[in-house]
Structure 1
Amino acid sequence: MFNKIFLMLFISISACYGQQILFPNKGIQPSICIGENESIEMVFGKGNAFYYASSIDKGSTFSSPVLVDSLQGLHLGVSRGPQIASSRLSTVITSIDKKGNLYANVLNHKTGKWQNRITINDVPEIAKEGFNALTTDGKNTFFVIWLDLRGDKKNKIFGAISKDDGKTWSTNKLVYRSPDSTVCECCQPSIIMKGKQIFVMFRNWIKGSRDMYVTASMDEGNTFQPAIKMGNGTWKLNACPMDGGGISLNENGKLTSIWRRENQLFITKLGEPEQPLAVGRNASVATSNQNTFIAWQNQGKIWISSGQEEPLSLGLGRFPRVISLNEEQAFCVWEDNMAIKGMVLVGSKK
């Protein structure tokens, strides 16, 4: 059964055709990815359970959500929650329980069945903050990162790789350790992969500053380069921002990041100065060679921009996520009072 929606927003003009609830099911913290043939795959949670739905027509309709799994004490809310990525043969969802264990559930595309959950962390109960991020090369390799307390009870970025479509996972690998005790313990990290390249963005905590850093691997996660601070400014803060920003790669492999300092959002290319965008938080970015789509929340509403034009409001909501469908289109999803809402975005033609 498919739930009917048909929404489109042209971000190159000031026109908005409203917003739609995607499912009758209640839920929060939707995460989305692109599958085969520009399909959209989604996971969202409610209580201890999480659900999967998909669209094969660029978001015009979605399948009815199906229960994937239920974890006692599922980490969910405030940017925490299950993450999703899709390859040719499988879809992987990663989730964390409040004991601090990280799991993978794998959908076999040939059989259409979900396998039983797999434990990814090789030291028990070390992901207690509940943040993880997942990516894939689109073939058969997946890479997941999380905040990890092993050894010294200080949060570090750890990762694991699967080279068999999520069926098995490697020994856990240290991706980054802060030289000043810990990385920020309350912000969602981001990860993206293209070929053998992997980029990881996270909020650090050095000498009282909670700034965004990016580390990269050019060899499929075997080694990671020294982390680079994003932007020229700094944010001295003795509190939790609860805001990790987002990253995107276009088809040419150019990295774009969006993140928050104080109440200001900035957009940054790797190695370039930051550019102010708008007041807001919880931003997400998707790029193609032709368009940049940015979504964020401010004062209880969802806003979008191309980064060069005045922001447009999509209506009430929070925690948006946006992905590119092709050179001209993207899809944005968000939560609003336990409803999952979404919209097709259309950029300019060049």
Structure 2
Amino acid sequence: MFKKITVFLFITLSAAHGQQALFQTKGLQPALCVGEDGTIEMVFGKGNAFYYSFSKDKGQTFSLPLLVDSLQGLHLGVSRGPQIAASRLATVITAIDKRGDVYVFVRNRATGKWQNKRMVNDVPEIAKEGFNALASDGEGNFMVIWLDLRDDKQNKLFGASSNDGGLTWSKNKLIYHSPDATVCECCQPSILMRDRRVYIMFRNWINGSRDMYVTTSEDGGNTFLPAVKMGEGTWKLNACPMDGGGMSVTKSGVLTSVWRRENQLFTSKPGESEQLLGQGRNASIATTNRYTMIAWQDQGQIWLRQSPQNPPVNLGTGRFPRLLTLNEQQAFCVWEDKETIKGMILMGDQK
């Protein structure tokens, strides 16, 4: 493990608190991915519009945000918002409007233009809750998942995949249906792709408990194994946590998740015991074979921890942090703070 965390700041606007505004453009709910040649690619929303920006220097500077498109009644806020993923062929953004339709937007790498807006759900107006998650294997295969109300008006996990860089999408596929009517209707699901393996984490709702589960596919998302509950405890709750946690997987295929139960955060790996992290919510995680970084919000502050042995580091005011693994030494953290998008480069120092 690593002994400490060095935080690199750029264009320092509030050095006393270690915070950094990335753009003059206001926005909410930034999402990140690593694109071609290690480029950081970002999407964030503002009203009905959503914007794209990128960094070719590992987050030291970002391009001026470019308007991608707008959706009347764009779902935005409280973990809802556009999602982004990239491959060698294209960058893809997904977004949901309040009618309940999932749309995809594709950026052509040759022209730099956004094109091919299309609706992904093959039954209209079924994603009313507005939660979706998007992933890519980096080679041209994408998968998007969402909470879906079709047939029985109960939320379940559906998805669709693309094998041509987001230009066309498969017939919608049922991924998981809770045996107790519905999955948690107010928490963002997560998805990761590593070669042919697909990981999906979501908050379930069984016998009154809203616990986190992970289901895995070994064949690129065609079929999924039975969902496995994360951790030993349970959370009896007849309310909305509004907190879906996060996942990260190393190049060697080790999956680690972070999630909330009541007011506490836990980390776990499938089939292993949970580890208490501390108090907080809306956590995100980035892992490699050399480090694990976890960011979360608590009492209006963003906190970062690299190992259970080290105390958390305060990154400044804000909420909804998102961590992105850049390489074996670096990660990038982005979050929102009163409609300002802030971010930091993070680096771990080895013992």
Please confirm whether the aligned pair reaches a TM-score higher than 0.5, indicating the same fold. yes
2-structure distance, mates of 1:245, 1:262: 13
2-structure distance, mates of 1:116, 1:223: 27
What secondary structure does 1:115 align onto? strand
2:332 maps to what in 1?
Answer: 331
1-structure distance, mates of 2:117, 2:183: 28
Instruction: Tell me whether 126-135 or 111-120 shows the greater mean CA deviation.
Output: 111-120
- CA change 1:98–1:105 in 2 (3 A) is same
1-structure distance, mates of 2:332, 2:3: 12
2:345 maps to what in 1?
Answer: 344
Report the AA paired with residue 89 of structure 2: L
2:244 maps to what in 1?
Answer: 244
Structure 1, gaps ≥5 residues long: 1-9
* 2:26 is equivalent to residue 31 of structure 1: no
1:286 maps to what in 2?
Answer: 286
Q: Deviations over 1:36-70 (max 9, x none)?
A: 22210000000000000000000000000000010
Report the AA paired with residue 335 of structure 1: E
Report the AA paired with residue 342 of structure 1: G
Report the AA paired with residue 189 of structure 1: P
* 2:138 is equivalent to residue 138 of structure 1: yes
1:126-275 equivalent positions in 2, closer than 5 A: 126-275=126-275
Q: Does the 8 Å CA contact 1:16/1:314 hold for their aligned counterparts?
A: no
Q: Deviations over 1:247-292 (max 9, x none)?
A: 0000100000000000000010111010000100000001011001
2:14 maps to what in 1?
Answer: none
- CA change 1:104–1:13 in 2 (3 A) is closer
Q: Does the 8 Å CA contact 1:26/1:339 hold for their aligned counterparts?
A: yes
2:43 maps to what in 1?
Answer: 43
- CA change 1:330–1:208 in 2 (3 A) is same
- CA change 1:16–1:110 in 2 (3 A) is closer
Q: Does the 8 Å CA contact 2:5/2:348 hold for their aligned counterparts?
A: no
- CA change 1:276–1:48 in 2 (3 A) is same
1:12 maps to what in 2?
Answer: 4
Instruction: Tell me whether 108-117 or 68-77 shows the greater mean CA deviation.
Output: 108-117
What secondary structure does 1:133 align onto? strand
Q: Does the 8 Å CA contact 1:11/1:346 hold for their aligned counterparts?
A: no
2-structure distance, mates of 1:151, 1:64: 43
Task: Give the TM-score normalised by the residue count of structure 2.
Answer: 0.95
1-structure distance, mates of 2:294, 2:176: 27
1-structure distance, mates of 2:243, 2:231: 16
Q: Does the 8 Å CA contact 1:35/1:87 hold for their aligned counterparts?
A: yes
- Report the Cα offset of residue 212 of structure 1: 0.2
2-structure distance, mates of 1:168, 1:79: 27
Report the AA paired with residue 326 of structure 1: N
2-structure distance, mates of 1:225, 1:329: 33
Report the AA paired with residue 244 of structure 2: G
Q: Deviations over 1:209-252 (max 9, x none)?
A: 00000000000111000000000000000100000000000010
* 2:323 is equivalent to residue 322 of structure 1: yes
Q: Does the 8 Å CA contact 2:85/2:93 hold for their aligned counterparts?
A: yes
Report the AA paired with residue 297 of structure 1: Q
- Report the Cα offset of residue 13 of structure 1: 4.5
1-structure distance, mates of 2:82, 2:145: 12
Q: Does the 8 Å CA contact 2:21/2:342 hold for their aligned counterparts?
A: yes
1:307 maps to what in 2?
Answer: 307
1-structure distance, mates of 2:269, 2:122: 35
2-structure distance, mates of 1:263, 1:23: 32
Q: Does the 8 Å CA contact 1:11/1:345 hold for their aligned counterparts?
A: no
2:15 maps to what in 1?
Answer: none
Report the AA paired with residue 143 of structure 1: M
- Report the Cα offset of residue 71 of structure 1: 0.2
Task: Give the TM-score normalised by the residue count of structure 1.
Answer: 0.96
2-structure distance, mates of 1:58, 1:167: 28
Kindly report structure 1 stretches of 4+ aligned residues shifted beyond 4 Å: 13-17
2-structure distance, mates of 1:333, 1:176: 30
2-structure distance, mates of 1:146, 1:267: 24
What secondary structure does 1:19 align onto? coil
1:87 maps to what in 2?
Answer: 87
Q: Does the 8 Å CA contact 2:182/2:205 hold for their aligned counterparts?
A: yes
What secondary structure does 1:276 align onto? strand
2-structure distance, mates of 1:192, 1:16: 27
1:65 maps to what in 2?
Answer: 65
The CA RMSD over aligned residues, in Å, is 1.2
2-structure distance, mates of 1:37, 1:343: 20
Report the AA paired with residue 45 of structure 1: G
Q: Does the 8 Å CA contact 2:102/2:119 hold for their aligned counterparts?
A: yes
Report the AA paired with residue 196 of structure 2: K
Count of residues paired in the alignment? 341
Task: State the identity as a percent.
Answer: 67
